[in-house]
Structure 1
Amino acid sequence: MSTSASSKKTTPKKTNSILSVKKPWFDKIIKAVWILFFCFVLGIPLYFLSVSINLFGLFGEMPSTKEVENPENDLSSELISADGVSLGRYFRFNRSQVTYDGLSTDLVNTFMLSEDHRFYEHSGMDFWAYPRVLWGLLTLNSAGGGSTITQQLAKNLYTRNPDKALDGVVAKLGKYPRRIVQKTKEWIISVDLEKNFTKEEIIAMYLNTAEFSSNSYGIKVAAETYFNKGPDSLNLQESALLIGMLQNPTFYNPVSNPEGALNKRNEVLYKVYRHGYKIISREQYDSIKALPLGLNFKVQNQNQGLATYFRTVLRNDLMSWCKEHGYDLWESGLKIYTTIDSRMQRFAEEAMAEHMRVLQKEFDRQWRLRNRNPWTDENGNEIKNFLEQRIKRTEAYANLVERYGAEASFDSIKILLNQKKPMRVFTWRGERDTLFSSIDSLNYYKRFLQSGLMSMNPETGAIKAWVGGINHKYFKYDHVKQGSRQPGSTFKPFVYGKAIEDGYSPCHELLDISPTIKIPGGTWSPSNAEGDKGLGDKLTLRQALARSKNTISAQLIDRVRPQNVVEFAHRLGIKSELHPNPSLCLGVDNVTLYELVSAYCGFVNLGIHVEPYYITRIEDKNGNVIESFVPKTRQAMDEKTAYKMVYMLEGGVQESGGTSVGLKYELKKDNEIGGKTGTTDNASDGWYMGITHNLVTGVWVGGDEPSIRFPSWSFGAGSKTARPIWEKYMLKVYANPEVGFAKGYFKRPVSGLDVTLDCNKYQSIDSTEVSPDEKEITLDDLNN
């Protein structure tokens, strides 16, 4: 039987080649390896290039090479005294630069060994640290970050600063894309920083940009804030405390969390020991870690330090200057050199505090004895509803009106204003915590006496000390340049000065009798401070000014005309509006202490008025002088007239009955002094103007507003309220010769005098003197 060909079976050939077997998974692995290789070799560099050029705007702009070489950092502007002491700073972020040379060796070593002990071995990125970081992430046991000092600096300078606008489209996709972009930029910027700066410069730059909590930015401010010293003086344990704060400034703040800060400090110290800081042994480490924190803490702000009122007033001038010249006072790192002497400023603040503490105690005691409040009207009657009227001017009242609406009744708001709450208040024994309502607080603070002091070199115009009040934190109002009050008898020298200019001699005699002067609506006949209309004695002009006789001041303004006195005072530097009325001779028109001191300097400076100034120069952050300031001067009166007025003011110290004869002998010995007291008729203001050959100083004392009055005119007399502050201040100045204001004698006119000052030899220029009560002068006559 035969078989057909179609049914014949065929068998495939067998082969032993493994390559003939199809394995697609193997091909995919090979392909993936090559892709990953090319991504790593080409993709990563292309990614970094894309970020660096901000491809298609995906990643945000990178800083330019110029920005990396000259990083912009917000810098506080600093006020510097004439003797080189920092008076304070204007800042949004309180930061001030320091160079590497200004860092202590302990600080540098602690920082480097704690934060990046291979700092000198890498070029911005520490690749040896990345495996450790990765292992920590995998094991959930972090052994520290992988960022180098250079990377952290990059973060501080750019990627943490929203003003640099480094974020692009990718970073807006979410937290993780943003973090990847930021980290990439840190790496790129780190390389640029390492290219353009030395290691030492990078260390200084990082410490200058770091935050240390308590309003402290940068190592210089941090050292001053926590230890009251410069960064060049920080020891090992102090350095460790500050470096420990870098990881979390708020949590490791030694004031708010001393235990946490101490533990962190000791952790940093151990790192320093472990990484081989050769100076510290195990025994030294054990000894140092047992030490307390050793803080000398003082937060820097505008309410603390020297010359707080001066700094606040000056700020407005500087803001105008910065606007005109294209600077930011808060961030441009300006150095403003002032005329203020820090030592004299301290003497002035101490003198004021010493006297005002005692004066306030007696002020309160006397009003308690009278069982009355110190706010009174012109007739001495207590002002009704005074506190209710004043509370409506406060921020607390305005906030309640805004919250409940203007239609809310005062009675309803008053209930809230009387609710007590915890409050810290000022006392002359230090700050105290208490429970006060808004009404309680107003009632408490309105009883405080205030004071102002300004001290100026009459020849140069340089202001050496400026105290605007008793405590800037609690009383913001400046009583040197802002406060304008009646000067009382301290205005009289301008009346006498005009008479001297018109030919009167200091030896010219007038009767102590009050004139009768017609004024609109009647007549005016002033009394003396003692209440009399004059005793009829003959007094020289020098004696009359020394005893501050109102009667003779009124006679003089009769003769020289009020309008001429106004013009004379304006020539000398009084800029406030003055009304040409006879009562001007008693100082009834408001002026500032700033103006009075400026004007009195014209007498001492032989008639040359020097505009007060308080800035000598301004430098930019690199130390380049932007502008220098020179005081403006003009001849305000003849030098002979000026010296005669100096001689007249000396009468207050030398003449019998003078209001300055009570000054201590220690001040008057081997020293020429002139002085003038002032007290307003309503017992609101006490003044003293003291002059020496090289220093003119004015002092004002009074209530926060004119209706806050002294218990009596005699209690509020300038000789009791203001003169003691001047006396204490000058004693401190003379006790410290290093400040350069020694005792001495007033300058004399080069051409001599045209009249003798020896009143025994003087002959009156007016032998037919008319008695003041024999004539009546109208106001129109006076101004013609």
Structure 2
Amino acid sequence: MNIRKTIGLGILSLFALFILFIASINIGLWGKIPSKKELSNFQYHMASEVFTADSVLIGKYYLYDRQPVAFQDFPEHLIKALVAIEDERFYEHSGIDIRSLLRVGFKTVLLGDNSSGGGSTLTQQLAKNLYPRKERKKTNIVVNKVKEMIIAKRLENIFTKDEILTNYLNTVSFGDNTFGIESAALKFFNTRTKDISAAQAATLVGMLKATYGYNPRIFPEKSLGRRNLVLRAMYNNDFISEVQVTKFSQEGLDLDYREFDYNAGIAPYFREEVRKEMLNWISEQNEANTDYNIYTSGLKIYTTLNYKMQKLAEEAMIDHMTKLQLSFEKSYGTSAPWLKDKNLMEKIATRTPTYKRLQKLGLSHKQIIDSLSKDKQIRNFKSWQKDEELTASTMDSIQHYTKFLNTGSLAVDPTNGDILVWIGGINFEQYKYDHISQSKRQVGSTFKPIVYTTAVEKGISPCIYFSAEEIEYDNLKGWSPSNSGKKDEAYLNYSMEEGLSNSINTIAVKVLEQAGIDNVLTMAKNMGMEDKLPKEASIALGTGEIKIINLAQAYTSYANTGKHIKPNLIKSISNHKDSLLVKFKSELNEKAAFSKETSQIMIEMMKSTVNSGTAARLRNTYGLKNDIAGKTGTTQNNKDAWFVALTPKLVHISWVGLDQHEIGFSNTSIGQGANAALPLFGLWMQELNKDQDFDEYTKPNFPKPSAAVQEALNCDPVKRDGFFKRLFKNPNKKKSKKFDG
């Protein structure tokens, strides 16, 4: 009798201890447990999404890749797949499945069967998703399980079953920093949750048991087997028929894998610029007591980018830059500066973060270069298709990357300021520096139209002739701009239209002299050019360093009869519930920089550049029949190649050059704007012309110039000096005078 009593007391004591243990967990002695109030108001991190103007998702900003969706967006077969394989009595229990717990306790503890499962309900799994286990030691398993049971019971008291499923599917991890069914559906099948098929739903639900082991991209066969097991579980629960099991099981995985990688995907430079603008906007908003976060608030950012235009522009860039790179390297041959100039390579090395870090440690220049010359495993950008793994030194890598031409390409709709295309470089992963928003380069002859605009606006007739004769300016230290044209050019006199369309340097300087440097600088500013420009005569040749985006802003003035418009990246921002937060719209500058007549004259002059001048290959090589005005540009020593194209609905700027200013093209034939930069527009426009979706941009014509403008331009393009003037002029001797501009 005493033995029975002792055993009974022992059992009661153990039970009491167990109750006390549960109570101690419940009151927080083993770590805080969220209250019902906290559970009612929990917030999970949500990725912000970036959309193009045509509603294509092109990127995300996130700490955790999660995009919550509503219960009504879950297809019925998704819910059935989840319940069938993860918690078949989900609708019967109230957070804890006693039968499953007894099964697990009996099989796992008594029989040692580890395949019996964990016995956690979906509600318990949701508790674990919301409050991940901090301690993963075996001694903490029981405490963690009890905590999750308590939280699960509270969740069941707060939320409906549908709400629990919604929260679960929006929080569960699919591995690779992907959380929630929507992000998983987009990543593996490039589709929204509401559109996934039964087989796709079973594949994704099947991953939940082991997100790596059943990853369909890494282990397709194991994933298929797991998917079919889910389908069989659906049949066993009378959710689908035998015929459906057979049909779905015969389907392939049919993955359309799409990772939203910061470094990869379409328009990475644009997405980074949008991120910067969003951070500025959020900072301003949060000063007014909001708490937006670009990485966690699930904002929806609708941009101005045109997806198809961007895709075609990137394809044109790869096509052209691949061929140009080969020509560039071939033109230098074995005498390339990156191969021969050791001092230059060491100079470039000093700009790298690695060099600066070693320098801070006190190493000498020689010690640092020796360290950077040691071989190791590196990955180099080889082409636009793939990188290469090889054994080489950091100095080898510097030499390799120095030789690559880079680019910037921007398309803006001048009627509303929308940025349609943004290519900031050839490879975002390797070249983070954005040549649209960050880089300031000399713009060469693309600045000349501003000089000519100033002259025309000042009242100088387009039919005034300027001699192409070379001048040496005494008060400019003997500076003598020259041309690369005809031998008898000293005897030729060009109208302003002909001088601009053929980009004659000597004439540009003479036009600047007539217009006045101060007037030109004022004109540039009034046209929206925000970069500070040098007050020097050489500005006529484009020695000012200007950002692509600012050059584009200035050129929008020509399409808007003198009024510039600020390029814009973002149309609107909504919250995660699709409620509009703000709209953005660019407005034309109130004051025109020049008159309607000047605008028409300049457009006609720049149309001549395309029809018969330095950009004529748009007609001859690319066969473009669109109404296009434009201007090529090539800077000193062939360092920068430019092309600006202007249509009634487009301003397109393209630049090509090297990141290292010390190196330029080996010759003007390869490095001139018409050869290095113009094809980026020509190839792109060819593709736009093939698609009637772009008729809005490709079909419009410039307004017909007024009779007065036509009359003002009605003159012979070139006049040759008379016999006696030629007789007494020595073309080999520079005329000397004072620059008076």
Q: Which residue of 1 aligns with 2:335?
A: 372
- Of 171, 180, 188, the residue aligned with 1:218 is 180
Query: What CA distance in whole angstroms lies between the structure 2 residues aligned with 1:416 and 1:605?
Result: 53
**How far did 1:761 drift?**
7.2
Which AA in structure 2 matches 1:519?
Answer: N
Partner SS, residue 452 of structure 1: strand
1:166 aligned partner = none
Corresponding residue for residue 392 of structure 1: 350
Counting only pairs closer than 5 Å after superposition, residues 64-143 of structure 1 correspond to structure 2 as: 64-65=36-37, 67-137=38-108, 138-142=110-114, 143=116
Distance 1:237 1:649, change over 3 A: same
Name the SS for the 2:490 alignment partner. Answer: coil
Following TM superposition, by how much is the alpha carbon of 1:278 offset from its aligned partner in structure 2, in angstroms? 2.2
Equivalent residue in structure 2 for 1:305, among 258, 265, 284: 265
> CA contact under 8 A between 1:652 and 1:661: conserved in structure 2?
no
Greater shift after overlay, 511-520 or 128-137? Answer: 511-520
1:244 is aligned to 2:214: no
Residues 583 and 440 of structure 1, relative CA distance in 2, 3 Å threshold: same
Q: Does the C-alpha gap of structure 1 residues 437 and 36 become closer, same or farther in structure 2, counting only changes over 3 Å? A: closer
Whether the 8 Å contact between 1:400 and 1:413 is mirrored in structure 2 is: no
- Counterpart of 2:104, as a letter, is V
Q: Take 2:86 and 2:4, find their aligned partners in 1: how far apart are those partners?
A: 46
Work out whether residues 338 and 399 of structure 2, in 8 Å CA contact, stay in contact via their aligned partners in 1: no
Query: C-alpha distance in 1, partners of 2:78/2:45?
Result: 23
Out of 491-500 and 253-262, give the one that drifted further. 253-262
Superposed displacement of residue 389, structure 1: 2.0
Give the 3-state SS of the residue equivalent to 2:572 in structure 1. strand
The residue correspondences of 1:452-491 to structure 2 (distance < 5 A) are 452-491=408-447
SS at match of 2:162: helix
> Structure 2 residue aligned with 1:504, among 444, 460, 478?
460
Return the offset for 1:614.
0.7
The structure 2 residue matched to 1:147, chosen from 104, 117, 120, is 120
- Cα drift, residue 119 of structure 1: 1.8
Q: CA deviation at 1:666?
A: 7.7
Please tell me whether the aligned partners of residues 527 and 534 of structure 1 are also in contact (alpha carbons under 8 angstroms). Answer: no
Alignment of 1:151-550 (within 5 A): 151-160=124-133, 175=137, 178-281=140-243, 285=245, 289=249, 293-326=253-286, 327-368=292-333, 371-374=334-337, 383-398=341-356, 405-407=361-363, 410-411=366-367, 413-414=369-370, 417-520=373-476, 522-530=477-485, 534-550=489-505
CA displacement, residues 140-192 of structure 1 (integer Å, 9 cap, x when unaligned):
113112111122112112344x7xxxxxxxx8xx9567544443442333234
Cα deviation digits, residues 303-349 of structure 1 (max 9, x gap):
22211011122222222222332322111111111111111111111
Cα shift at 1:60: 1.3
Determine what percentage of the aligned residue pairs are the same residue.
Answer: 33
Residues 514, 555 of structure 1: 8 Å contact kept: no
Matches within 5 A, 1:512-661: 512-520=468-476, 522-530=477-485, 534-634=489-589, 635-637=591-593, 638-654=595-611, 656-660=612-616
Q: TM-score, normalised by structure 2?
A: 0.89
2 CA distance for matches of 1:611 and 1:412? 46
CA distance in 2, matches of 1:582, 1:533: 25
2:700 alignment partner in structure 1:
744
* Cα distance, 1:307–1:657 mapped onto 2, change above 3 Å: closer
Larger radius of gyration: 1
d(CA) in 2 for partners of 1:442 and 1:37? 71
Whether the aligned pair in 2 keeps the contact of 1:505 and 1:755 (CA below 8 Å) is no
Task: Work out the CA distance in 2 between the residues paired with 1:103 and 1:204.
Answer: 8
Q: Take 1:182 and 1:102, find their aligned partners in 2: how far apart are those partners?
A: 32
Taking structure 1 as reference, are residues 668 and 408 closer, same or farther at Cα in structure 2, changes over 3 Å only?
A: closer
2:34 is aligned to 62
CA contact (8 A) 2:48 2:61 kept: yes
Q: Which runs of 5+ in 1 are unaligned?
A: 1-22, 163-170, 377-381, 764-769
Shift of 1:523: 2.2
Decide whether the 8 Å contact of 2:600 with 2:709 is kept in 1: no
Q: Is the 8 A contact 2:622 2:683 kept in 1?
A: no
Paired amino acid for 1:629 = F
Deviates more, 1:303-312 or 1:416-425: 416-425
Q: Distance in 1 between matches of 2:736 and 2:637?
A: 29
Q: 1:17 corresponds to which residue?
A: none
Residue 510 and residue 37 in structure 1: after superposition, are their counterparts in 2 closer, same or farther (change >3 A)? closer
Once the two structures are TM-superposed, the CA of residue 102 in structure 1 deviates from its matched residue by 3.0
Listed one character per residue, the Cα deviations across residues 500-532 of structure 1 (whole Å, up to 9, x for unaligned) are 110123333222223433334x22221113386
- Of 502-511 and 613-622, deviating more is 502-511
Structure 2 residue matching 1:150: 3-state secondary structure: helix
2:634 aligned with 1:679: yes
Is the CA contact (8 Å cut-off) linking 2:411 and 2:653 kept in structure 1?
yes
Contact 2:416/2:587 (8 A) holds in 1:
no
Kept after mapping to 1: 8 A contact 2:601/2:713 = no
Range moving further from structure 2, 498-507 or 639-648: 639-648
Q: How far does residue 581 in structure 1 lie from its aligned partner after superposition?
A: 0.7
Does residue 776 (structure 1) correspond to residue 737 (structure 2)? The answer is: yes
Cα distance in 1 for residues equivalent to 2:218 and 2:561: 58
Gaps of 5+ in 2: 287-291, 718-724
In terms of mean alpha carbon deviation, does 487-496 or 444-453 score higher?
Answer: 444-453
Conserved 8 A contact 1:126-1:147: yes
Deviation at 1:542, TM superposition (A): 1.0
TM-score by length of 1: 0.84
Q: CA deviation at 1:736?
A: 2.1
Equivalent residues of 2:618, 2:682 under 8 A apart: no
After superposition, the C-alpha distances for 1:675-722 in whole angstroms (9 at most, x for unaligned) are: 100011211111100000011101011112222221201211111111
Aligned CA distance change for structure 1 residues 217 and 586 (closer, same or farther; 3 Å): same
Matched, 1:702 2:673: no
Q: CA deviation at 1:431?
A: 2.9
Which string of whole-angstrom CA distances, capped at 9 and with x for unpartnered residues, describes residues 381-406 of structure 1? x745222222233244456557xx42
Shift of the 701–761 alpha-carbon distance from structure 1 to 2, 3 Å rule, reads closer
Conserved? CA contact 1:603–1:642, under 8 Å: yes
Distance 1:34 1:208, change over 3 A: closer
Match of 1:516, SS state, is: strand
RMSD: 3.2
> Is the contact made by 1:514 and 1:554 (CA closer than 8 Å) also made in structure 2?
no
* 1: CA distance, partners of 2:267 / 2:7: 76
Partner of residue 722, structure 2: none
Deviations 1:215-236 (A, max 9, x none): 3222222222223333333334
**Normalized per residue, which structure has more helix?**
2
8 Å contact from structure 2 (residues 464, 496) kept in 1: yes
Cα drift, residue 139 of structure 1: 1.1
Matched letter for residue 322 of structure 1: I
Identify the match of residue 663 of structure 1 among 595, 604, 619: 619
1:114 deviates by: 0.8
